[in-house]
Amino acid sequence: MKLFRILYKTFKVVLVMFIILIASVFIYVKSSPKPIINSANNITLYDKDNNVFFKGNQSSEWVNLNDISDNVIKATISAEDKNFYKHFGFDIIRIIKAAFTNVVNGSTKQGASTITQQYAKNLFLDFNKTWKRKWEEALYTVKIEANYSKKQILEGYLNTINYGHGKLGIENASKYYFGKSSKELSLAEATILTAIPKAPSVYSPLTNFEACKKRQLLILDLMVKNNMISEEEKNTAYNTEVKLIGKEENETISNIYYYQDAIMNELKKIEVIPKNYSSLNGLKIYTSFDYNAQKILEDNIKNAFSDNSTLETSSVIMNPNNGEILALVGGRDYNKSSYNRAISSKRQVGSTMKPYLYYAALENGFTASSAFTSEKTTFTVDNDKEYSPINYNEKYGNKPISMATAIAYSDNIYAVKTHMFLGFDALINIAKRVGIPENLQSVASLPLGTNEINILHMAAGYSAFANLGYKVEPHCILKVVDGNGNTLYKTKEDRELVLNPSLVYILNNILTATYDPLYVDYNYPTAISLAGKLRHKYSLKSGTTSSDNWNIGYNSKYLCAVWVGQDDNEKLTTKDYKYAQNIWYKTMEKLEENSPEDADWYKKPNNVVGVLVEPISGKPSQDVNKNTKLIYFLKGTEPKETDPTFDEIAAN
């Protein structure tokens, strides 16, 4: 009896405290400013010429609840929040049931978010799962319920939720998937659309129709259970064949959503931007998006692959002088996969790692003519372990070759010898200096690209070569302005000189050897097939692993990086290695089609001289009848006939 009295008193105390808490929250909510709920997704994106290329819920696609099919409303309430009209933002019974289920099953799969809670969550720029964010979302849930009718909340929710493939709101989704207004949706079509928001990448009917149909059946069952439809209506809707369109009206660049995703990813990282929409009254985001560059890149990607190919790509076009991203593609088809490989994936970079090494070599006294012997070599590394790299197709000159030749052939033996000669830190230091943030392994194979690096990071690193020595930060966003006209953020274009411009000029010229017929000897330059196709001059390096193919090339105006491979790291076939190169050269040439041949190449520094050399050995040549090549050197470092081979020095 005594225990009962204690429990009863405790219960009364807890109940009183709970009532006080609820009352306090209610008083606070009523006395605080009314939240602006239609600011969710209220974003306008502008391209480099200040033209609008995306509008969130500011577009004319916002529809009143009365103009949305009743099938959509019933399906949404059944699927997401059957007690929507009964609770005050939180479904307490559902929360208790979900908590009990999760405890019993030892998981957190069972959710209990109401429509109002989900709408409140959409008011934030990011979905961090911190306790602070959860409290903020809970507070906004109460604020929304206290200040708006259920009709207004449901209308806002349906106009702002994500239906996949870049479609925000029921009207946009309805026109995209079915080519009709949302008020015309049948029960079958409405339940297909309602199935998507739970996980758009999983339940899109365009990419996973079977999964979507399973969730559609679940929603139809819930509608029957909630007495919204009959069993007969359920069966009819489920068995009705729907006609999916999955196409924009006047659609021209289908993968623009990858660029939009990159913008939003960048926006979340800008600390000065408030993390909830309600305090902003919308956002105007000015970007470096170049419609023409995006279309060129997308067209070349589309034309490169056969329809049945399972290869994927990530590609980026950048202004190397300031890091502005002009175009970006994170996959071959956003409709089939919204996974953005350009911003989210890291891949082995292969021989595209070598230019960082060779710049380090130039900085440490090497020249374009510095020679190592190209021959099968076994290296002794840490703890007397042996490492035996091989050249592609196992071709070796069995003679001294110059750095320029090593770049032309992408000679692995030369690269590892240089790496060992300089010490492993030399390459790592240069990579860090130009902005590669990945933690690179101090191993003998590093110059062969065994580390995984993001394509934007590689593009930023190469930009330091393309702009003659300056480190830049890749970015899409130039300026952010709120709905009241206040500038919240403006990109600072501070450039840091991290490389010697004269040495970079020399390296840039060496990197033209990759497609130069003068280097045809015991081997062929890696991009020799481009020799007759390039009208302009570019620095270019390819990279290959068993499952990755890269091409990164540039001049002073544009930098384009292309990766091709399989998401599951499946090995590439011989023919698969042509795609990245074709996308790259066709994109660069189209970008430069109205420019004179060498208009965007580099002016020779005063402390650099050109010398005629024999291309393969790098030795000076006075015989004009022989095969000669003009190669550049710092004054005073010009090659001599008597210059030794580096590995011969090491052997002695």
**Which is higher by pLDDT, 477 or 279?**
477
Residues catalogued as catalytic? 80, 351
CA end-to-end distance (rounded Å), the chain:
97
Cα 145 from Cα 152, distance rounded (Å)? 10
Alpha-carbon torsion (160, 165, 166, 172), positive or negative: negative
Q: Please state the rounded mean pLDDT for residues 554-571.
A: 96
Enumerate residues 6+ apart whose C-beta is below 8 A from 630: 610, 611, 612, 613
**Which is higher by pLDDT, 174 or 277?**
174
Residue at token pair 């392994």: 441
CA angle 346, 350, 354 (to 5 degrees): 115
Cα 5 from Cα 116, distance rounded (Å)? 39
> What pLDDT score was predicted for residue 147?
85
Residues 389-424 have pLDDT tens digits of 999 889 999 999 999 999 999 999 999 999 999 999
Judged by DSSP in three states, 497 sits in strand
Q: Please state the rounded mean pLDDT for residues 511-526.
A: 97
> What pLDDT score was predicted for residue 569?
92
CA atoms lying within 13 Å on the CB side of residue 344: 17
Percent of the chain with pLDDT over 90: 64
Residues 314-341 have pLDDT tens digits of 999 999 999 999 999 999 988 788 899 9
Q: Please state the rounded mean pLDDT for residues 484-496.
A: 88
Q: Please state the rounded mean pLDDT for residues 298-319.
A: 94
Cα 445 from Cα 331, distance rounded (Å)? 29
Asked if the model's pLDDT at residue 531 lies above 60, the reply is yes
**Which is higher by pLDDT, 1 or 437?**
437
CA angle 324, 326, 332 (to 5 degrees): 130
Locate 586 and state its tokens: 């066709």
pLDDT tier, 136 (very low <50, low <70, confident <90, very high otherwise): confident
> What pLDDT score was predicted for residue 504?
98
> What pLDDT score was predicted for residue 128?
58
Cα 253 from Cα 346, distance rounded (Å)? 25
Residues 196-224 have pLDDT tens digits of 999 888 899 988 899 999 999 999 999 99
Distances (CA, A) of 140 to 146, 168, 406, 632: 10, 21, 62, 65
DSSP state of 273: S
Please give the CATH number for the structural domain made up of 62-251.
Answer: 1.10.3810.10
> What pLDDT score was predicted for residue 19?
62
Pairing of strands 283-287, 43-46: parallel
Residues 255-274 have pLDDT tens digits of 788 999 999 999 989 988 88
Helix 187-194 to helix 70-80 angle (10° resolution) is 40
Quote the distance between the C-alpha of residue 556 and its chain's center.
24
Nearest to 642 by CA among 393, 371, 460: 371
Residues 25-71 have pLDDT tens digits of 667 666 666 666 665 567 889 999 999 888 765 555 789 999 999 99
Lowest pLDDT segment from 28-32, 158-162, 519-523, 602-606? 28-32
**Which is higher by pLDDT, 146 or 16?**
146
Cα 444 from Cα 42, distance rounded (Å)? 51
pLDDT tier, 134 (very low <50, low <70, confident <90, very high otherwise): confident
Alpha-carbon torsion (369, 514, 310, 318), positive or negative: positive
Enumerate residues 6+ apart whose C-beta is below 8 A from 450: 348, 441, 443, 545
CB 249 within 8 A of CB 175: yes
Asked if the model's pLDDT at residue 251 lies above 70, the reply is no
Residues 435-457 have pLDDT tens digits of 999 999 999 999 999 999 999 99
Lowest pLDDT segment from 212-221, 377-386, 533-542? 377-386
What is the second-level CATH architecture of the domain 299-602? 3-Layer(aba) Sandwich (3.40)
Lowest pLDDT segment from 120-134, 135-149, 194-208, 487-501? 120-134
Residues 339-350 have pLDDT tens digits of 999 999 999 999
CB 284 within 8 A of CB 56: no
Judged by DSSP in three states, 496 sits in strand
CA angle 337, 340, 344 (to 5 degrees): 135
> What pLDDT score was predicted for residue 280?
66
Cα 377 from Cα 319, distance rounded (Å)? 40
Enumerate residues 6+ apart whose C-beta is below 8 A from 222: 78, 79, 82
Helix 501-510 to helix 354-363 angle (10° resolution) is 130
Nearest to 244 by CA among 196, 304, 192, 284: 192
> What pLDDT score was predicted for residue 111?
52
> What pLDDT score was predicted for residue 467?
98
CB 113 within 8 A of CB 137: no
Enumerate residues 6+ apart whose C-beta is below 8 A from 90: 114, 117, 138, 141
Helix 455-466 to helix 354-363 angle (10° resolution) is 40
Nearest to 168 by CA among 64, 257, 263, 275: 257
Domain boundaries, the chain: 62-251, 299-602
> What pLDDT score was predicted for residue 110?
47
E strand map for 555-598: 559-565
> What pLDDT score was predicted for residue 582?
97
